[in-house]
Structure 1
Amino acid sequence: MASLAEKLKNGQTIVTAWSGLAVPILSELLARSGYEAVTMDLQHGQHDLASARDAFAAMSGLNAHRIARIPVGDFATASRLLDLGAEAIIAPMINSAKEAQAFADFMKFPPMGRRSWSPHRAAMLAGQDVETYFQRANQDLLALAMIETKEAIEALDDILAVDGIDGVFVGPSDLSLTLSNGAALEPNSPATAKIAAEIASRAREAGKIASIFCLTAEKVHESREAGFQLMAYGMDMGLFSQAATDALKACKP
């Protein structure tokens, strides 16, 4: 199976489910349902290293790509998640080239970065020996910097120029908050969409991957048209809650 990086760099678009519940079988079920990728959220979700580890294992062999979002500034956790089998890491609140470089250093092996060596479990889940994993890691494992502040937008070209940053991930909620100086939470507003599309365009011009969190299915289609390739849509808590509500409603007289 082609790697997540190969698919995105070849122009494919992928929708990833978003997992905030630290229950590995739920991530497995999302993968079994047909999602091409599932993202474990360690920033705002309930996941930790143990639940992400078990979710990655549960997804192994299901042809769904393993992604994780780390807490703000916790780049050491990025390396640990890679060792556990993550194929892409989303790092929130990357506001400068310096922060982007720090993130990339934990994501890439020398000479591109400074990642420490011990990917034995990751190689196992990838179906590779450690030598093959080492040869492919810097190109196959994606470092996605979240762009969600005015500072990040101003520094975007410098962030994109960092060797080892493979792309960006737009967080529309925080983006709308910072653009309005905290006056409004409007992730689906035309103004937020316009800025997001500009970020995608600049990322693509730099030869990097553009990705985004979507709150509606319509936003997935809109984002794809705007040049985004990786779209997050479908949070486990909401999906299972809605399914339970629909099931009960169908049973009422």
Structure 2
Amino acid sequence: MTETNNLADKLRSGKPVITGWSVLCVPMIAEMMARGGYEAVTIDLQHGMYDFASACEALAATALGGAHRIARVPVGDNALAGRLADMGAECLIAPMINSKEEATRFARAVKYPPVGDRSWSPFRAAMLNGQTQEAYRQIANAQTLSLAMIETQDAIDALDEILSVPELDGVFVGPSDLSLSLSNGAGLDPNGEATAKVCAAIADKAVKAGKIAGVFCMNAGKVREAIGQGFSLITHGIDRSFVGDAIDEAQREVEEATSGSPR
């Protein structure tokens, strides 16, 4: 991470950054995603299989592959957010942020005083950035990003207050949980028109507030839509799905090749 080529400046400029999403707890896959062209890779400790140790390995593998390093923490685990920042995560995503108070506690966990409450020990983060610890200290608050996930009706109701938190760098929309909340549990509709309309409104408010807007997209068409809505951090592609799709395709190929063969 240099002063002219860091994730924070890219996202604040509005330049779209596409991140792959890793849940399988195989650091080499995170590296493969980085080498395969993803500008960033997100390590998922909420719904993924990663723990702290394997996430540290995946962050290093992502750096080795040449991509930016993002991590999503479990619900309410602000202490882990700070630890992952120490281990080199350039951006932390916190799920189920539903109030100004929750957003403030999370954001302050990844910022040093006087902005936040993060404790000092970024030896690994500085190493992965190719910096001295003092050089890292000078840029850490500006370049270590905190994104609060907006994925419930409560979060939408509190959005203006959440966006008013000065320590918070932006928001990240989870359309699956958002659609579940908007329908009062009636069903999932992450790609539906009603969900898209709410996502667009969230992005608009975030950008007008001077914050970064991110979103999880289920297909390439939604990526195009998200860019048009003003989102700059966009997820598309999960390692679990890549493996599952490849297995299905291999099976189809074998079935087609052996159809009608004598037994």
TM score, norm. by length of structure 1? 0.97
Q: Which residue of 2 aligns with 1:124?
A: 127
Check the 8 A contact 1:27/1:59 in 2, yes or no: yes
Counterparts of 1:133 and 1:238, CA distance in 2: 36
1:22-37 alignment runs, 5 A limit: 22-37=25-40
C-alpha offsets along residues 170-207 of structure 1, whole Å, 9 cap, x if unaligned? Answer: 00011011111111211111000000000000000000
1:150-229 alignment runs, 5 A limit: 150-229=153-232
Residue type of the alignment partner of 1:55: A
Counterparts of 1:59 and 1:20, CA distance in 2: 14
Q: Which residue of 1 aligns with 2:71?
A: 68
C-alpha offsets along residues 57-110 of structure 1, whole Å, 9 cap, x if unaligned? Answer: 112243201101000000000001001110000000111110011001101000
Check the 8 A contact 1:107/1:164 in 2, yes or no: no
Give the share of equivalent positions with the same residue, in percent: 57
Counterparts of 1:60 and 1:220, CA distance in 2: 24
Residue type of the alignment partner of 2:28: I
Structure 2 SS opposite 1:60: helix
Residue type of the alignment partner of 1:21: L
Q: Which residue of 1 aligns with 2:151?
A: 148
Among 230, 234, 237, the residue aligned to 2:233: 230
Structure 2 SS opposite 1:153: helix
Counterparts of 1:221 and 1:89, CA distance in 2: 24
C-alpha offsets along residues 209-229 of structure 1, whole Å, 9 cap, x if unaligned? Answer: 000011111111111111111
Q: Unpaired segments of 5 or more residues in structure 1?
A: none
C-alpha offsets along residues 124-183 of structure 1, whole Å, 9 cap, x if unaligned? Answer: 001111011001000101100000111111111111111111000000011011111111
TM score, norm. by length of structure 2? 0.94
Counterparts of 1:30 and 1:242, CA distance in 2: 16
Counterparts of 1:166 and 1:73, CA distance in 2: 17
2:246 matches 1:243: yes
Counterparts of 1:247 and 1:154, CA distance in 2: 46
2:102 matches 1:96: no
Check the 8 A contact 1:210/1:230 in 2, yes or no: yes
2:7 matches 1:4: yes
Task: Tell me how many residue pairs correspond in the alignment.
Answer: 253
Q: Unpaired segments of 5 or more residues in structure 2?
A: 258-263
2:23 matches 1:15: no
Q: Which residue of 1 aligns with 2:141?
A: 138
Residue type of the alignment partner of 1:139: A
Structure 1 SS opposite 2:65: coil
Q: Which residue of 1 aligns with 2:261?
A: none
Structure 1 residue 248: deviation in Å? 4.5
